Structure 1
Amino acid sequence: MNNLPKITHVIYDLDGLLLDTESIHAQVNSEITSRYGKIFDKQTKCKITGRKSIDSAKAIVELLELPVTPEDYLQQRNTLTYQRFPEAKPMPGAVHLTQHLYQNKIPQAVATSSSREPFNLKTKNHQEWFQLFNYIIVGDDPNLKHGKPAPDIFLIAAKRLDVSPKNCLVFEDSLAGMEAALAAEMSVIVVPDPDMDKTLFYSAHQILNSLTEFQPQLWQLPPFF
Structure 2
Amino acid sequence: MVFNPVTHVLFDMDGLILDTEKLYTVAFQNIVSRYGKEFTFEMKLKLMGTQAHEAAQMLITALDLPMTVDEFITESKEQFQMLFPDTALMPGAKRLIEHFHKQNIPIGLATSSSEEGYHLKVDKHHSDLFSLFPHKTFGSSDPKVKRGKPYPDIFLVAAAKFPDSPKPEQCLVFEDAINGVKAARAAGMQVVMVPDPRMDRSLTKEATLVVDSLEDFQPQLFGLPPFE
Q: Same fold (TM over 0.5)?
A: yes
1:135-194 per-position Cα deviation (integer Å, ceiling 9, x unaligned): 000121132211111111111111111211110000011111111100110000111122
Instruction: State the match for 1:216 in structure 2.
Output: 219
Unmatched 5+ stretches in structure 2: none
* Residue range with higher mean Cα deviation, 11-20 or 134-143: 134-143
For residues 62 and 31 of structure 1, the distance between their equivalents in structure 2, rounded to whole angstroms, comes to: 17
What are the equivalent positions in structure 2 for 1:2-151 lying under 5 Å apart?
A: 2-4=2-4, 6-124=5-123, 125-139=125-139, 140-151=141-152
Q: After TM superposition, which residue ranges in structure 1, 4 or more long, deviate above 6 angstroms?
A: none
CA drift at 1:198: 2.1
Partner of 1:205: 208
State the SS of the aligned residue for 1:224. Answer: coil
1:156-195 → structure 2 map (5 Å cutoff): 156-161=157-162, 162-195=165-198
Unaligned runs of at least 5 residues, structure 1: none
Identity of aligned residues (%): 43
RMSD: 1.2
User: Residues of 1 paired with 2:67 and 2:49: CA distance?
Assistant: 22
Q: Distance in 1 between matches of 2:200 and 2:59?
A: 19
Aligned length: 224
Residue 66 (structure 1) shift: 1.5
Give the TM-score, by structure 2 length: 0.94
User: SS of the residue aligned with 2:160?
Assistant: helix
What is the TM-score of this pair, normalised by structure 1? 0.96
CA distance in 2 between partners of 1:209 and 1:2 (Å) = 19
Deviation at 1:3, TM superposition (A): 5.0
Structure 2 Cα separation of the partners of residues 3 and 132 of structure 1: 26
2:156 pairs with 1:155: yes
